[in-house]
């Protein structure tokens, strides 16, 4: 019998090689994105988390911070406070539920956190009297305050502070994409004030209804009805109440997270480097900055730039070519809140055992609108009280206000007052969270505010769907890092 040939033809070799390559490709790792050079402007929590995220993904990152410190609106002071006490004079809380991006970093770095009982057992000064949470839950008092029967029934089921959701929630099911408030049959509500819309739904004045009249015309400060309906829908999509009582903070100060980012980023973070100009085109970006006010300008080139500063700060940076008209309008018409943070140091926790046993107060006084305790885990008798004040308040005015509105015995225990004026002490971190868009403005601002412009991206508290400071900053930072990584 003729011996069968075992030789392979050229066609057989090519076929076998193709099969081998196909089989081996099944186990090949996915192609990695090309390494990119990225400059992040601003070392607040948004900029730092974005930079760290990009670094982890293998990209070359530089963070340019114009001030002497990192953290932006996250700032913890320890001086001149006594006995190891401290105060978060900027971002001072995060929600126990939600805040997924923020919690990701807390868990990743195994940072110590604690419950923050500032919203429990609250006393509110309303209509000339201090009211407890139990008082405000009483149906009889709610009727005396002017709420209608429908609202009273809703508050009995859901709580005093949830009353507006009775009306805002009417359209919640229409929202499927939390970034998109338009095209749902509600667009005309951007041209209506929230007060007018609530009145049309039969809401009481106590619930926020306000009819526009010749005597009381609408103003630029009146919030868009569509904006508030959309924002509440997003809050519901995230499974949150209007008023979240379960809040937390990092033990020892919220700067623990921003300092941790900075430590891991190392010399990628350059402080005292104030950016004056950004040039960009289809090929890349050039950033001009100086390391001191009198220092000569320097330039750095990058593939992408991330603006992680307030729109109010971007206004001071020359961008070439200029932003498109819709982006420029969005940046210059996004309202940001401004306030001073008030810190009181006391010799003792004087409120304990007083006839108002809780120090969680809603005062109605503009010099210290809210009052609560922080650093309560620090041992010793001395305590720290916090609050919000007017933009340019002074310590003497705050002390006088506290002595006036607090009804118990405290005159001899107040040791010092500190008023941290953000506009004065941290001008590059001014503007904490977005406030509501005035009626007629949402369509002109959204979504242009959060969209990138070519190779220029935006991250920070102003550039996310919801206004929740640290949550918005870290969420927008994650979105930006993913976009640049996938580009």
Phi and psi angles of residue 382, each rounded to the nearest 5 degrees, phi first: -65, 145
Which neighbouring-strand residues pair with 65? none
* CB of 480 closer than 8 Å to CB of 456: no
Q: Are 467 and 235 in contact (CB under 8 A)?
A: no
> What does the pLDDT profile of the chain (487 residues) look like in tens digits?
434 444 444 445 444 444 443 444 445 445 677 999 999 999 999 999 999 999 999 999 999 999 999 999 999 999 999 999 999 999 999 999 989 999 999 999 999 999 999 999 999 999 999 999 999 999 999 999 999 999 999 999 999 999 999 999 999 999 999 999 999 999 999 999 999 999 999 999 999 999 999 888 998 889 999 999 999 999 999 988 889 999 999 999 999 999 999 999 999 999 999 999 999 999 999 999 999 888 999 999 999 999 999 999 999 999 999 999 999 999 999 999 889 999 999 999 999 878 788 999 999 999 999 999 999 999 999 999 999 999 999 999 999 999 999 987 766 789 999 999 998 999 999 887 899 999 999 999 999 999 999 999 999 999 999 988 899 999 999 999 999 999 9
**What does pTM read for this prediction?**
0.90
The helix/strand/coil state of 391 is: coil
* Eight-class DSSP state of 272: S
SS3 for 317? coil
Beta bridge partners of 362: 124, 370
Alpha helix (H) ranges present in 139-211?
Answer: 139-144, 149-158, 165-168, 194-200
**Residue 76's beta-bridge partner residues?**
88
Distance (Å, rounded) from C-alpha 108 to C-alpha 99? Answer: 14
**CA-CA-CA-CA torsion sign (319, 325, 331, 335):** positive
Query: What is the C-alpha to C-alpha distance for residues 255 and 76, in angstroms, rounded to an integer?
Result: 6
Residues 420, 89: contact at Cβ < 8 Å? yes
């Amino acid at each position: 019998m003729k011996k069968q040939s075992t030789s392979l033809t050229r066609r057989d070799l090519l076929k076998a090689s193709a099969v081998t390559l196909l089989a081996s490709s099944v186990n090949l790792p996915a192609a990695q994105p090309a390494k990119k050079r990225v400059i992040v402007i601003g070392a607040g929590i948004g900029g730092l988390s974005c930079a760290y995220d990009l670094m982890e993904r293998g990209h070359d990152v530089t963070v340019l911070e114009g001030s002497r410190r990192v953290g932006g609106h996250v700032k913890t002071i320890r001086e001149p406070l006594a006995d190891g006490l401290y105060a978060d004079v900027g971002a001072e809380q995060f929600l126990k539920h939600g805040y997924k991006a923020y919690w990701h970093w807390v868990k990743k770095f195994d940072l110590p956190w604690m419950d923050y009982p500032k919203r429990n057992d609250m006393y509110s000064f309303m209509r000339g009297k201090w009211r407890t949470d139990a008082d405000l839950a009483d149906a009889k008092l709610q009727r005396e305050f002017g709420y209608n029967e429908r609202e009273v029934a809703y508050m009995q089921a859901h709580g005093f502070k949830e009353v507006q959701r009775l009306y805002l929630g009417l359209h919640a099911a229409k929202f499927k994409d939390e970034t998109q408030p338009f095209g749902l049959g509600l667009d005309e509500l951007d041209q209506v004030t929230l007060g007018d819309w609530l009145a049309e739904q039969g809401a009481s004045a106590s619930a926020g209804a306000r009819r526009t009249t010749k005597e009381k015309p609408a103003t630029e400060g009146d919030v868009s009805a569509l904006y508030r309906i959309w924002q509440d829908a997003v809050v519901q999509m995230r499974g949150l109440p209007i008023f979240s009582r379960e809040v937390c903070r990092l033990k020892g100060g919220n700067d623990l997270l921003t300092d941790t980012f900075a430590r891991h980023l190392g010399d990628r973070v350059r402080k005292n480097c104030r950016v004056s100009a950004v040039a960009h085109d289809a090929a890349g970006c050039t950033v001009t900055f100086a390391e001191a006010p009198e220092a000569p300008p320097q330039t750095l080139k990058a593939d992408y730039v991330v603006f992680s500063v307030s729109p109010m700060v971007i206004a001071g940076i020359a961008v070439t070519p200029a932003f498109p008209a819709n982006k420029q309008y969005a940046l210059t018409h996004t309202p940001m809140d401004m306030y001073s943070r008030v810190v009181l140091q006391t010799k003792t926790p004087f409120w304990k055992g007083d006839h108002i046993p809780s120090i969680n107060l809603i005062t109605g006084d503009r010099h210290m609108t809210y009052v609560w305790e922080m650093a309560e885990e620090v041992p010793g008798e001395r305590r720290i009280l916090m609050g919000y004040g007017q933009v340019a308040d002074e310590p003497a005015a705050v002390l006088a206000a506290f002595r006036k509105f607090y009804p118990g015995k405290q005159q001899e225990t107040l040791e010092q007052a500190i008023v941290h004026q953000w506009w004065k002490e941290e001008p590059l971190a001014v503007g904490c969270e977005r406030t509501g868009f005035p009626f007629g403005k949402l369509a002109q601002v959204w979504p242009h505010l959060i969209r990138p412009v070519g190779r220029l991206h935006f991250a920070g508290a102003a550039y996310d769907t919801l206004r929740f400071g640290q949550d918005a900053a870290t969420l927008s930072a994650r979105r930006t890092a993913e976009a640049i990584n996938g580009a």
